[in-house]
Structure 1
Amino acid sequence: MDIPIDDKKSSINKRRVLRAGAFCMLLIALIAAFTQLQPALPSIDESELWISEVQHGNFTRQVRGVGVLAPSEIRWIAANTAGRVERVLVKPGAVVTQGTVIAQLSNPLLIGELQRARWELDAAQANLLALKAQLQEQSLEQKLLITQAKMDLQAAQLKEQAEKPLAKQHIISDLEFAKTELNTKQSQAILDIRLETQQHRTQLTSAKLAAEQAQVRKFSNMLEHFEEQIEALTITADIAGVLQQISVDVGQRVEIGSNIARIARPDSLLAELQVQENLVQDLQLGLPVSVDTRNGIVAGKVARIDPRVINGNVQIDVELIEQLPSGARPDLSVIGTIVVEQISDALYIDRPNGASAQSDVQLFKLDASEQYASLENIHLGKASVSSIQVLSGLKRGDQVVVSDMGEYQQHSQIKIIQ
């Protein structure tokens, strides 16, 4: 019996072709289906996000600065005389009163000058006493001469009066009477000279006394000056307060005018805040400020705006209008929040990371299910410390992600895992 081998082989080949065709069709279908698939959405846990809800109402613009409490009244104690520091009796941070001894200086040369001034004053005073005695003696001698001249004049006048009637009666000669009259005139002239001499000597005596007294005052002032210099070797506080700084060490040589110590009054503190220069343009004197001392919040107001910019910051001095909490002291770190303005009927959100005023940003806005967030264009307005005004792109009640989403900015939508 004959077996049909060729028909059997042909049937097997046909099945193989059909299987290959079916596999190719399946492969093509799989490729087409794969190309039609959308990429999976990136997902992020809700706990890793900072989500802010759009608020509506009064928007308070604030500017924040960090700084320290500083005394409004500071006194530098300077050396009024040169010397060497022997002792420092008070350390920084101590409370001092007026007259508290802070440091002690020494100056042997000054002590020698003081002793010499005492000797010169003693000598000048002795010279003054000797001059007074001498001038008094000369004054007595002059008075004696004047008295004698007066007596001689009186004697001559008496003789002239006695001889005058005799001369008229020619009892005595005219020559003798003429001599008598001449003697009277001579006595009068001598008295006049004595009186004039006394007047000149009085003026001379006053001049000599004034000169010698000036010498005494000179050395007296020198002595007082050196005594003050010796006293100034003891450095004392001239106001009550807190000793902030000692600028000298034991053994150091200081000159006149050198700063020794700095004292601040703790009851007259103000806040010195450093504010970024780009935030200062809207600040004005008198704006209210809240100063956080970390031990309480104290109200204040802007008292001064420094016109200079240092390292990108402007110093704002804040006058404190409330009593500081206990423990407040100079150089204590504080944070000040300045209220710039109030904007009514405004939309605002928590300030997104890196967002600036009057700018356009892209933020992820949550949908109604709060499971997905889509990237939206937002136009921002004026900025505050922790919030910022929304001008367009959002409405009241919308929720947006304000944390840093830089790694997701290439995606238009994200999934939020709750």
Structure 2
Amino acid sequence: MDIPVPKKTSFPLRHKWAIGLLACAVVTAALWASLLDKKTYLERRSVMIDTVKHGALSITVDAFGTLVSAEQKIITAASPGVVIDIKHKPGDVVAPGTVIAQLENADLELDYKRAQQQTAEAQAELQQLDLRQQRELLVERSVISQLEGQQATLSFRFQAQKDLAEQGIISQLSFLETQAQLRSVTGQIDHAKTRLSQLQALHQSTLQVMQKRVALSQQELASLASKVTVLSIIAPHDGVIERMSLDLGTHIAMGDHIATLGDQAGLIAQLQVSQSQAGSVKVGQPVDVFAGEAVLRGEVLRIDPVVSQHSVKVEVSLPEYEHLDLRPKQSITASIVIDTIENTHYIRTPVMELSTQSIDMYKVLEKGHTELVEVQLGQRSERYVEVKSGLQAGQAVVISDLDALAKARQVVVIQ
């Protein structure tokens, strides 16, 4: 007896594809569920955690720079020469009159000696001229004295003969001769006095010319002496040498830069601010300047309008700092306070990229458990960022970059 064998049923191809896709979906769902149930454990030392604070938040722009002298003096060469000695170098503190460097100029020193000789010769000529003039004046005055003596004798004779001539005792001719001689001598005296006056005027003019020559020679000598003196480069006042580009044997021309002397008692901070943040910086804004362990509260003095190497130069005034050891060229950092938000929540700026105002962050719970929360951020600075919602004061939050885990909705436990 024949046993009937049931016929094999075949499914259409599209049914096979549907069953395969359904199986893949079930497997994927199972894997996703297992991933969701999986916890990620992180060591506490490997993550950064900050506590939400409440209060006034200062929005700052961080910058770096150096301390520079508020007042600088440039020392230039007043005489050309060759550097033969360098007594002080950049960084040295100098007092007024301190010799910084020594120059040498053989030609200048020779010119100075020649000027000394010319001045001595001119002074000797002036003395000789004065003696000659005095002698000439003595001769003229002697002549006048002789004539005045003759005039006196003839005057007495004239008076005596006048009475005798009227009485007829002497001839009228003798009286007239005496009268003529008296007039002649009187005329000679007048001419001599006129000649003496003219000679004195000539002497005065000649003497003035010679005195001017001597004065000019003395001025030239003083100028050369000054140039020889300034071959010694001297500090004009207290300060610290900030820059000096001298080498032994270097030829220095008149007017060349010798050194830049900074006032150590008055310093300002010179900061470099990023071009992208410079627009928020205004004159008068407060600045916290960090010089070593010291924190100085300054104020923005000036903003350079020129952009150099993608940064803007900002000058900041500094308060009294006599008790601090600050020096020009000292490296510093600073925070420029561009705004202050009162009565707000804030945390340290997370290290993750903050491209939007809303981010997912892990709030730390008890025993290292965390909760993924959505946090709305507000204004931000280099150090802190405002928290508008999602966190409360005193709560701890992870500020490390866990963005990949947050996007995967991973459960994080901090051990």
TM normalised by structure 2 equals 0.81
Contact 2:303–2:314 under 8 Å retained in 1: yes
Contact 2:364–2:396 under 8 Å retained in 1: no
Of 169-178 and 340-349, deviating more is: 169-178
Distance in 1 between residues matched to 2:139 and 2:364, nearest whole Å: 127
The change in CA–CA distance for 1:324 and 1:166 in structure 2 (over 3 A counts) is closer
Unaligned runs of 5+ in 2: none
Overall identity of the aligned pairs, in %:
27
- Give the aligned partner of residue 383 of structure 1: 380
- Give the aligned partner of residue 72 of structure 2: 74
1:416 correspondence with 2:412: yes
Contact 1:97–1:237 under 8 Å retained in 2: yes
1:215 correspondence with 2:213: yes
SS of equivalent to 1:309:
strand
Match of 1:118 among 103, 106, 116: 116
Query: Structure 1 residue 50: deviation in Å?
Result: 5.1
Distance in 2 between residues matched to 1:251 and 1:88, nearest whole Å: 10
Q: Deviations over 1:40-84 (max 9, x none)?
A: 559765556656665443222223221111122333332221111
Q: Aligned AA for 1:384?
A: S
Q: Deviations over 1:26-52 (max 9, x none)?
A: 868635634766845597655566566
Unaligned runs of 5+ in 1: none
Q: Aligned AA for 2:381?
A: S
Distance in 1 between residues matched to 2:89 and 2:140, nearest whole Å: 71
> After superposition, where does 1:16-35 map in structure 2 within 5 Å?
30-31=23-24, 33-34=26-27
Query: Structure 1 residue 176: deviation in Å?
Result: 4.5
Q: Aligned AA for 1:272?
A: Q
Query: Structure 1 residue 238: deviation in Å?
Result: 2.6
- Give the aligned partner of residue 311 of structure 1: 309
TM normalised by structure 1 equals 0.81
Query: Structure 1 residue 257: deviation in Å?
Result: 1.4
Query: Structure 1 residue 175: deviation in Å?
Result: 5.0
Match of 1:144 among 135, 142, 157: 142
Q: Aligned AA for 2:360?
A: F
Distance in 2 between residues matched to 1:367 and 1:244, nearest whole Å: 52
> After superposition, where does 1:217-256 map in structure 2 within 5 Å?
217-256=215-254
1:373 correspondence with 2:366: no
Distance in 1 between residues matched to 2:20 and 2:374, nearest whole Å: 37
Contact 1:374–1:413 under 8 Å retained in 2: no
- Give the aligned partner of residue 396 of structure 1: 392
Contact 1:69–1:333 under 8 Å retained in 2: yes
Contact 2:54–2:344 under 8 Å retained in 1: yes
SS of equivalent to 1:335:
strand
Contact 2:71–2:262 under 8 Å retained in 1: yes
Contact 1:86–1:251 under 8 Å retained in 2: yes
Q: CA RMSD in A?
A: 3.7
Contact 2:361–2:399 under 8 Å retained in 1: no
Q: Aligned AA for 1:245?
A: R
Query: Structure 1 residue 254: deviation in Å?
Result: 0.6
Distance in 2 between residues matched to 1:329 and 1:146, nearest whole Å: 82
> After superposition, where does 1:7-406 map in structure 2 within 5 Å?
7=3, 10=5, 13=6, 30-31=23-24, 33-34=26-27, 39=32, 40=35, 55-172=53-170, 174=172, 176-323=174-321, 327-353=325-351, 360-366=356-362, 371=370, 373=372, 378=376, 380=378, 382-390=379-387, 394=390, 396=392, 403-404=400-401
Aligned residue pairs total: 402
Of 294-303 and 246-255, deviating more is: 294-303
Distance in 1 between residues matched to 2:297 and 2:270, nearest whole Å: 14
Contact 1:54–1:394 under 8 Å retained in 2: no
